[in-house]
Chains A and B, each alone.
Chain A
Amino acid sequence: MIEIVVNGNNRQMPPDASIANLISQLKVKPQVCVVEVNGKIVSRDEYCTRYFKHGDQIEIIRFMAGG
């Protein structure tokens, strides 16, 4: 297992885990969020092929428009 940080919280993931795996574990739909890995936005078409490294800092930022 590797350890990554997701929205400030430590999380264990298998070494071959992708962004797609993570957001499906978290039950977040890809079209309602933006994902940053180590401060860089990852485009949605890379979610299945972008794998994590130990220590990666992930931010899953939700679209919201309520006011």
Chain B
Amino acid sequence: MQRYSRQIILPEIGEKGQEKLLNAKVLVVGLGGLGSPVAVYLAGAGVGTLGLLDSDAVELSNLNRQVIFSTEDIGKKKAAAAAQRLKRLNPDIKINEYVLRLGQDNIRGIISDYDIVVDCSDNFPTRYLANDACVLAKKPLVHGAIYQFEGQVTVIKPGQGPCYRCLFAEPPPPGSIPSCQEAGALGAIAGIIGMIQATEAIKLILGVGQPLIGKLLVFNALEMSFRKVDIPQNKKCSVCA
């Protein structure tokens, strides 16, 4: 427990809170710029079971932002390389590796083993799939996304607030939004958004504070502003209504 002594001192955590963290199971979907800090901070905090899901291998162009990987990891599967790094950081936690893409066929089975899902993916189909499956399975989902110097975070807690589709009912037309590969991505921006996602996941596990349920936190690094925008619940939402 000495490993966690600095956070056990926090009155909101204590020994009881640390037990909750050690018993928690969190699935990290996507091990890119967001998933890297999410996985590192959750492992450090002692989240007892971490699922690491990504089908890709580490590439040189990932390393400006995907801080969980090192140059010698290039070519390795991200889930395996991240698991190796986290085991060195915290050998006490259990890590499950998933080298696959989430799809309709596998998502329900995978998320059923976890208490919380953190969406760190890099594409709209996965984001809508994760939202829909988490709403149906009543799993809390911590959503985060970045675009150039901006980012967004929200917490979807089925039954207690709106879902992703309440705000963004349908995906934008394919090709209308450039990916990180096309639009560019700065590591520090992904780090800020990922660390907020990790913080929200920890708050949900502990049951402390006010998670971003029904709120979209909008970050703009050029203005260096954070704003909270209300997400209205759509009474006709195709998923959560």
Partner of B152, one of A32, A40, A64: A64
Given A34-B168, A63-B172, A39 contacting B122 (CB threshold 8 A): no
Band of interface residues on A: 10 to 19
Q: How far is the CB of B175 from chain A (nearest CB, A)?
A: 10
**Known contacts A31-B176, A32-B172; is A61 also within 8 Å of B229 by CB?**
yes
The reply on A36 being an interface residue by CB < 8 A is yes
Question: Which A residues touch B171, using CB under 8 A?
Answer: 63
Interface SS of B by simple majority:
mixed
Which of A31, A34, A66 is within 8 Å of B147, CB to CB? Answer: A66
The stretch of B32-40, B77-85, B90-98, B99-107 in contact with A is B32-40
Q: How far is the CA of A29 from the CA of B172 in the complex (A)?
A: 11
Contact between chains at B177 and A63 (CB < 8 Å):
yes
Q: Contact flags (1/0) for B205-236 with A, using CB distance below 8 Å?
A: 00000000000101000000101011010100
Using Cβ atoms and an 8 Å threshold, which residues of chain B touch A63? Answer: 124, 168, 171-172, 176-177
Can you name the residue of chain A whose Cβ is closest to the Cβ of B147? A64
The closest CB in chain A to the CB of B194 belongs to A67
CB nearest to A40 among chain B residues: B232
Write the residues of chain B forming the contact surface with A, with a CB cutoff of 8 angstroms: 30, 32-35, 119-124, 127, 144-147, 150-152, 167-168, 171-173, 176-177, 179-180, 183, 185, 190, 216, 218, 225, 227, 229-230, 232, 234
Q: How far is the CA of A27 from the CA of B123 in the complex (A)?
A: 24
Nearest-neighbor residue (CB-CB) of A39 within chain B: B230
In the complex, which residues 19-67 of chain A have their Cβ closer than 8 Å to any Cβ of chain B? 29, 31-32, 34, 36, 39-41, 59, 61-67
Q: Hey, which chain B residues are within 8 Å of A62, CB to CB?
A: 147, 150
In contact, B176 and A67 (Cβ under 8 angstroms) = no
CA of A8 to CA of B144 in the docked complex: distance in angstroms? Answer: 21
Asked if A64 contacts B150 (CB within 8 A), the reply is yes
Please name all residues of chain B whose beta carbon is closer than 8 Å to the beta carbon of A31 when the two chains form the complex.
172-173, 176
With an 8 A cutoff between CB atoms, is A10 at the interface?
Answer: no
Q: Does A7 contact B (CB under 8 A)?
A: yes
Residue of A32, A61, A62, A65 most packed against chain B (CB within 10 A): A65
